[in-house]
Amino acid sequence: MGLMLGPGAAFPSSQITGITLVVHFVVFVIWAFLADQAFYKQSQWPVLKFYRGFYVLVLGIIVVAGAEVIQGFLLWSRSAELGDYIAGILGLLGGLLIFERLVLSAKSR
């Protein structure tokens, strides 16, 4: 998360087109995977475990949107971009899909 909120000049420039989209995607795949796993393993609130995908997706969308808002309005050297937002949402879905597939495959054994 700190990577997305740091000043743009602090990062080395890249000649690779779309690298920021890849970074947003990967960061949110990891975030969603870990958040889904955390909700799955907790036992204090069963509703969080049962509806974990929904809650991770809602929280993730808030985090993705918040990061873009901060980039666009509060940081002068960064900009909010629709592509970054979409990459973040796709990353959330990817992380959820990966974890859910692992849970289903573990249950079927």
pLDDT single digits (tens) 22-33: 989 999 999 999
- pLDDT band of residue 53 (cuts 50, 70, 90) is very high
Measured CA to CA, the distance from residue 2 to residue 100 in angstroms comes to 27
Mean model confidence pLDDT for the chain: 85
Which contiguous run of DSSP H or E holds residue 33? helix 19-41
Whole-model pTM over 0.75: yes
pLDDT at 12 over 80: no
Q: Tokens for 4, please give them.
A: 């997305």
What's the whole-number mean pLDDT along residues 10-21?
67
Residue with the larger pLDDT of the pair 81 and 91: 91
